[in-house]
Structures are given as C-alpha cells and as structure tokens.
Chain A
C-alpha cells in the first residue's frame, strides 16, 4: 500500500529509538527527517497541532510519516508553551506568531527555558503544576492512520537541575518526585513520561498494519 516511511521526533536520539521500534515491527524506514519546530496554533491544542504537523509532512512527502511530538503545558501561564514548546523563545504570546531568530537548536532551547522561568516568576511550588504531553501520530496524505498520546503530570522547578533537552532539566514527574527528567536515565525517563507505553502501542499496531508490508 504505502512504501515510503518518514520519521520525525523531538531529537535525533528519539528518532533513532523510534526507528528501532518500527524495525522490530517489520517496517522499513525511508528517511529520518530532522526534528521540526512545533506549530504555534493554540486553536489546535497540543494534540491537534501534532496531528496537523503529521498530516502536512505526509502530504508534502506523499508518503507515510511517523511523528513523535512533545509539548509542555503550564496552566499558570495560560497553557503555554503548549504546541509552541520547541520554539517558545520565538513565540509572540499576544499574536501567537513565531518570530524566527538566528538561534541554533541548543540556543533556542536555552532561551525557551529562560522565558518559561521568567513567565512563571517566583510562584510557590503548588502553583507550578505542569504536564508534559507525548504524542505519536502515523499519517498518510489526508488520513491519520494511528495516534496515541500520554500526559505526564508534575511541576516546574525554579531552576535547572541536570543537563537535558528542552524542558527536561526543569520538569519533575509526579512518580519521580526527587529529580528532574534530565536526571533520569533515558530508559527511566521514557517510563516516567509514558513514552514506553506509546512505543509499545505503536509496535503492536504496526505489526498488524498493512501500512508496513
């Protein structure tokens, strides 16, 4: 049915991880695309934005795309960074438009973390609730074939602890309350945010899907 399979994930490591899981299900990967920036559309919400991104990549590539996306939602600041998590530093919150900068990926992540901390300010711990949403979408042109999502609830610390991608050094998951995601091993992090379950579901679905001959 479909023969070209593209992958995109929040980081190269996770894209490789995703490719490994899909190969276990018998899929052959055509191309691993570089991590793409999130859409700033609030109307879509974090799930709708992931879906929209997967559909637009599938249409542009005329093939099947497997997309992993991640978004941090902080209710105290109106649900931001939300769908714009990956490029939060470039987001004009009043117009909800991205203002592209010259920052490289690491610089953008650093600036996004700093912006998040600045907006949350010195709120007490109980007001720093946040949830990290991980989404997996498989889409063909104009059609979502499979999608699963998981929310990991926790809170944002006032300063970074550990070295990690995106907001990992700031976010603490409820189940691992004594350290940030950046201080967990990749495997434990995957378990903590629920990504492990999503990958298991993807493999289960892919192994009986005719999309991956």
Chain B
C-alpha cells in the first residue's frame, strides 16, 4: 500500500488517482491531515508504527501554489481550512514529520507527470505490466479459471518467450519450486505456488504472502508407528522421512526435536519404521497407511506471494478479496 500525505492543495488526490490507474494500491492517511493533528509536538506513535509498514510519500509545495490549485478545483479559499496560515501550519507539520521520520519531501510544485515519475523513482517502482509467476501444469488451468472470475482472462496463445498476457499482467508459466527464488531475485513481482513449495524453497522469510486461495489445498501430517513418539521421543536424534526436508526441519526444530531428515521423494512410507521413526507427508498418503497420524504439520492451499512492486499492486488485494468470497 502506498500512502500519500501532504497539506491541502499539494496534489494528493491527483497522485493517488494516477497511481491507482497504474494498478497500484494507494490512499491518503486521513489522520495527520486533519486540522487538530496539526501544530507542534512529537509525531504520534500510531503514525510512526504505520509508516514502518508502508510506502509513505509526503508531498510538499509552497502555500501560494497549494491555494492556486485549490481555487482551480473549485474550493472556497475563504474557508479557514484553506487560508494561507492554515496551509502554512499544515505544511510545517508535514515538514516536521518528514524530518522526524527521516523521509524525503517530494517537491509537488512540479507537473502531475513529474510528481508521478518522482514518486515511482522514490519507491523503486517500475512501470509496465505486473510480472506474475504461475505454476506449470494442471494448476495453470485452475488458476486461469480463477483469474477469469476476477476480470483477468488469460490470452491462451503464448508469446514468443512462452509468456501469457492478461489485462495489466504478464504471466510466466514455470515450475512451481522455481517461483519463490525468481520473486526473491526480483525477476518476477508476484507468483502463485503451493504454500508447501514456498516454505520448502526457504525463501518464505523474505517474501510476503498476499493472498491464500481455496485452490489445491495440501494437508501435510506427521505419522509414526509409535503413538507416543512426539511426547516421548527416543533420547537420540529423531530420523524423519519426508519429501519436504526444509519445511519438516523447521517444524521439528520449532518443537525442539533434534532430528535428521531423509529426503523421501514421495516414498516416505518405504522408510518407516525400518530407517526412520517418523514420516511427514501428504495426509492422503499417510492416513491410508498403518501408521498413527500424530500431528498436522501444514494445511494450506495455493498462495500468492510477492515483494517490491508486487506488494503495492492492486492485484494482491483483488486476489485476496476473490479468495475470501469463493471460500
């Protein structure tokens, strides 16, 4: 989310409109702009906390320019909100805010196009379609149906480099396990993948999950022959067979279980109990076996994750809203 702030007449609404037209999520803060928030004093914690989580832009322009723009927009300059003094007070407040938060002030006395361009540069955002990674195979088809319901039909004929297009998007159909790394490296803005693939990639800590979809849910469980294995583990290293060693190691470490993982490549049952005490695999496989299911490790469907530009784009919010409706 991009939050735009500044005194009246600096062009907040115009900038927000332009950012939205480019597909970004943008809004005014609406609190610090209120007259009662103006004046001296430390920046309220509510603002400093919020600013740490968002892309914050403060517009600044001389009082005369602000008043000229307000007049042009049909505002009554006789209103106390738009007096030279009120705008000067508000401007001083935002200058103080910028100083305290160590934020640059964006010179809003320039043309609309120049202010937009400076904003994008300040936030490190590039123009152009959002680059979206989509898993290859059956998931691509399922996602295509989902995207169509939210106004993003995929053009079925791939482009020269195997990419597909949808309004405002460029879609790259790639192996699911490659997608988190490509987003982390900035080659894609967002991507869809199973949550298990995201965690297994090890990149989940540097990427943000933007939406969880009710598509292809995967339930991973831990199962063993010994029913009390997790309550009374052997006093040596626990051996775990799993096709998801990274995800499983994180789960076992969080439970304080020192362990060694054997990568089972989907045949966890073959290792338990002769070579491993515990299996972590899909519930559909382990629940059909003679093993006791001891814990749920993960139960998630497909998710949309991103970084950089992907975090400020409307696409994530749109997917999240559609997911909530459909689930």
Chain A residues packing against B (C-beta within 8 Å): 47, 59, 73, 75-76, 124-131, 141-143, 145-151, 153-155, 174, 177, 194, 201, 204-205, 208-209
Contacts and interface: CB of A to CB of B under 8 A. Distances in A.
B69 to A, nearest CB: 27
A142 B234 CA distance: 48
Contact of B236 (A73, A126, A147): A126
B116 interface: no
Contact of B253 (A124, A130, A143, A208): A130
Contacts of A208: 186
23 contacts: A73-B253, A75-B254, A125-B235, A125-B236, A125-B258, A126-B233, A126-B259, A127-B258, A129-B252, A129-B259, A130-B258, A131-B253, A145-B124, A149-B202, A151-B249, A153-B249, A153-B253, A154-B258, A174-B260, A174-B261, A201-B184, A201-B185, A209-B186
A142 B102 contact: yes
A74 to B, nearest CB: 8
A201 B233 contact: no
Interface of B: 102-103, 123-124, 181, 184-186, 202-203, 205-206, 233-238, 246, 249-250, 252-261
B237 A126 contact: yes
B237 A155 contact: yes
Contacts of A131: 249-250, 253
Contact of A204 (B102, B123, B185, B236): B185
Contacts of A145: 124
A153 B250 contact: yes
Given A129-B259, A142-B103, A155-B237, A205 B186 contact: yes
A153 B202 CA distance: 12
Contact of A150 (B186, B202, B238): B202
Contacts of B250: 131, 151, 153
A155 B124 contact: no
A201 B181 contact: yes
A177 B260 contact: yes
A127 B118 CA distance: 54
B203 A148 contact: yes
| B246, B250, B253, B260: residue with the most chain A Cβ atoms closer than 10 Å | B253
A153 B206 contact: no
A178 to B, nearest CB: 12
B235 A47 contact: no
A149 B206 contact: yes
Nearest to A52: B52
Contacts of B124: 143, 145
Given A125-B258, A205-B185, 20 more contacts: A125-B235, A125-B237, A126-B236, A127-B256, A129-B253, A131-B249, A131-B250, A145-B124, A147-B206, A148-B206, A149-B205, A151-B205, A151-B246, A151-B250, A153-B249, A154-B258, A174-B260, A177-B237, A194-B202, A201-B181
| A59, A73, A126: residue with the most chain B Cβ atoms closer than 10 Å | A126
Contacts of B234: 126
B258 A129 contact: yes
Given A126-B237, A146-B186, A155-B237, A141 B258 contact: no
A151 B255 contact: no
Contacts of A201: 181, 184-185
Contacts of B259: 126, 129, 153, 174
